[in-house]
Structure 1
Amino acid sequence: MKMPKYQMFGFIALAVVSVASFQNCSQANFSQAPVSLASSTDSAPPEDTTNTPDTGSYDGLKANDITLATNVNVSLSISNASIIAANSGSSLKVQSVGQPNLGTLTSKSSGYDFVSSAVGTATMTYTITDSQNNIASAKITVKVVESSIATAPFYGCNLDGYLYSLDPQTGTVLKTVNLTYNGRKLECSDMAINSSGELFAKDDDESGGYSLYKVDASTGVATHVRGSLVTRGDRAVGMTVGPDGKQFILSEEHNPGSSNQTNSLISIASDGVKSTVIPASAGYTMYGGDVKLLPDGYLYWTITNATSTLCKNAKAGGSQGVLKIDPATKTTKEIACFDKKDIFGLGFASKALYGFSGKGSLVRVDLSTGKTTLIKDTGLVFIGAAANPILW
């Protein structure tokens, strides 16, 4: 289907390094920040002696902490390949994975299965070896959450009434469920996930001022939270959960389609009270794009070239710039201008910035230059998207 011009992708804040195998949409998703671990001594070992540092790195071998999530009573498959992919070294092998403090870990030929009947956080130590028989150890953390809570790293939605969970590293769709409200298709225009893993969706009902829904991430069944997110006649063009995890921040488009179109950022508190983050008088407009709170605590908002001083000066060839906003002080700074058009969704993964284009291309973005590198043409166009903070 053709995406309406005013629609957008959701910003995607990703916190993954690699992806394991999946079962029932439970995902082994790796945290973006490797741990700082001790290394062996600088002196070379005697010939024919195995190098055995306690943890961390040795001659290029490095073990990183891994963060995963699964629902209670849902088996999570953790492949040896995914553990190896999260680490650095040559010819790596998984030597062992210890038993967790919560739940049960079962060994199989290709890796391990983890399951827990209780909600909580499970930790276990794993050890890897390389071609020189060096060894290194780090920790696997599995967050076990309620059955309705989001556990995949990335979710996408569209006006087609489907909820997709995806592997953002490959663009592979892991699971697709019907997105419904009162048994009927919910036309979704954006999504957001709070720090507890609760998934929310915004509909596309412009005439009603748009409504907010809480979504069961496993079944796609939505429950109405509140209506009239923006003034009727305006458009809600982007949505994110705010810094306190309870408020929602939206980009409100005023006088849509007219020559005096402007955008503002508004905050909606848990009691429905609205306040202004960035006023329309600031002069920013959007074409597609979104606003999202990312792991560094700042809001990132895509703005058109016409309202971006940086893009006007750069003449980079794209159609959007990126505005960084401090939600506490409301100060803004333009930080990038894209070299390609219509890069709507952004997110951090593997210490890099990624985005989705209007044609469904997954790209890596260099924020210091605005240049993009194609990762994969996914073939999917998401009007709304959200990443999962419980995996950050």
Structure 2
Amino acid sequence: MKMPKYQLFGFIALAAVSVVSFQNCSQANFSQVPAQLASSTPDNSNSTDSASPNDGPSTPDTASPGTLSAVDITLAVNKGVTLNITQASIIAANKGSMLKVDSVGTPSLGTLTSKGSSYDFVSSSVGTASMAYTISDSNNLKATAKIIIKVVESDIATAPFYGCNLDGKLYSLDPATGNVLKTVDLTYNGNKLPCSDMVISKSGVVYAKDGDGSNKIYTIDVSTGKGVLYQGSLVASGNRSVGLTLSVDGLSLITSEETDPGRSSQTNSLIQVSKSGVKTVLIPASDRYTMYGGDVKLLPDNMMYWTITNETSTLCRNSSKGGNQAVLKYDPATGSKKEIACFDKKNIFGLGFASKALYGFSEQGNLVRVDINTGNTTLIKNTGLTFIGAAANPILW
């Protein structure tokens, strides 16, 4: 089977996140953010609400006539780093006519300093800060919600999503615009570390898969780009690991194991590998699914989404839509699987859910929005970047 120029960019698993740049020694900034990117995850909540691929775009609560509603906004920042929150960004996260910020309260952790039209937040301790804010509109209607700031260690991911490449670069990105917020060099023992895929744990730890074919996994300090070997080869010698995600409990890595990669005899199986090396087959090669590039990611709905070729998709084998990939939905709790969409464009690799919508990258760096129910794509922007691996930050889910 013909393989793409690059191994697949990763699924970018996002769900209604706010945009924050992460910086190690200077000031982070939460600036103009589209309303649909505001998170509504309550502070210290154990809620299991999450983005569903069948939901439409996320928007703030719709106010009834004569009322105004506000949404909770979730951010993340490194310990000891100042996060600047503008009033414009708070307004942009909400919906209404001629909104203004009336007040922002005292945080439960760290300190908040008013800067006129913005606020500086900083904390010397790790934890979750919560503070109330109040907005009003042109009718003097008022609404109150929370700003929730997750303060994490400096080596933990705080940007909405990250991309990596065989050039040994780690990029943090703004999912609303595709703009790069920061770039660092990936290294291991002082040498360049090419990257072919990545995933971020719910605690913000970044795992990256090497791009030299040895299928090793590293944990990455996102502030310095330094890698630490986490696990040896995920797959048998001579095979290839394509795609990377974590199990529901976060204790095992999941990948697609390719046997005879790039040949007509290629087979793929979906496997789960514990840190001790114990391998569990989730979808066997006998099911005859193959990948063109390909990826798999566990999303906030606790379902896995695996890209497969049209040739091995019953749903899309004879599709005339113009694409060459299908999406298989897999339930790790029951083992059930269902083919759910055929793409209308070829080689849409870097897939992920942001604001309850599916986005993807083409090999040409086109950022597109995908209707998960139809597989149809809409061009958002040509970013000029081609990511081999990408991952969202579940800290901001």
Structure 1 residues 313 and 369, CA, compared in 2 at 3 Å: closer, same or farther?
same
| Aligned-residue CA RMSD (Å) | 2.0
Amino acid at match of 1:5: K
Structure 1 residues 21 and 262, CA, compared in 2 at 3 Å: closer, same or farther?
closer
Q: 1:19: which partner in 2?
A: 19
* 1:161 and 2:163 correspond: no
* 1:119 and 2:132 correspond: no
How many residue pairs match? The answer is: 369
Q: Deviations over 1:24-59 (max 9, x none)?
A: 584648554477xxxxxxxxxxxxxxxxxxx99453
Residue in structure 2 matching 1:149, options 156, 170, 181: 156
Amino acid at match of 1:13: A
Q: 1:369: which partner in 2?
A: 374
Q: Which of the pair has the greater relative contact order for Cα pairs under 8 Å at 6+ separation?
A: 2
Structure 1 residues 186 and 20, CA, compared in 2 at 3 Å: closer, same or farther?
closer
Amino acid at match of 2:127: G
Show the 5 A alignment for 1:25-174. Answer: 26=28, 28=30, 31-33=38-40, 57=63, 59=65, 61-174=68-181
Show the 5 A alignment for 1:316-331. Answer: 316-331=321-336
* Whole-angstrom CA distance in 1 between matches of 2:202 and 2:28: 18
Q: 2:8: which partner in 1?
A: 8
Q: 1:250: which partner in 2?
A: 255
* Whole-angstrom CA distance in 2 between matches of 1:84 and 1:181: 42
Q: Deviations over 1:331-357 (max 9, x none)?
A: 110111111111112222222111111
Which is higher, the Rg of structure 1 or of structure 2?
A: 1
Q: Deviations over 1:85-140 (max 9, x none)?
A: 21111221111111101000111133111100001110000111112221111111
Which 4+ runs in 1 deviate beyond 6 A?
A: none
SS in 2 for 1:61: coil
Amino acid at match of 2:8: M
| Superposed displacement of residue 161, structure 1 | 0.8
Amino acid at match of 1:332: K
* 1:178 and 2:185 correspond: yes
* Whole-angstrom CA distance in 1 between matches of 2:157 and 2:236: 30
* Whole-angstrom CA distance in 2 between matches of 1:62 and 1:371: 33
Identical residues among aligned pairs (%): 66
| Superposed displacement of residue 312, structure 1 | 2.3
SS in 2 for 1:310: coil
Amino acid at match of 1:8: L
* 1:284 and 2:302 correspond: no
With structure 2 as the length reference, what TM-score do the two structures score? 0.88
SS in 1 for 2:132: strand
* Whole-angstrom CA distance in 1 between matches of 2:168 and 2:355: 31
With structure 1 as the length reference, what TM-score do the two structures score? 0.89
Which stretch shifts more, 179-188 or 86-95?
86-95
* Whole-angstrom CA distance in 2 between matches of 1:25 and 1:254: 47
SS in 2 for 1:81: helix
* Whole-angstrom CA distance in 2 between matches of 1:299 and 1:158: 23
Check the 8 A contact 1:20/1:78 in 2, yes or no. Answer: no
| Superposed displacement of residue 302, structure 1 | 0.5
SS in 2 for 1:123: strand
Q: Deviations over 1:247-287 (max 9, x none)?
A: 00011111112112111111111222111111111111111
Structure 1 residues 104 and 85, CA, compared in 2 at 3 Å: closer, same or farther?
same
Structure 1 residues 191 and 20, CA, compared in 2 at 3 Å: closer, same or farther?
closer
Check the 8 A contact 1:10/1:191 in 2, yes or no. Answer: yes
Structure 1 residues 21 and 181, CA, compared in 2 at 3 Å: closer, same or farther?
closer
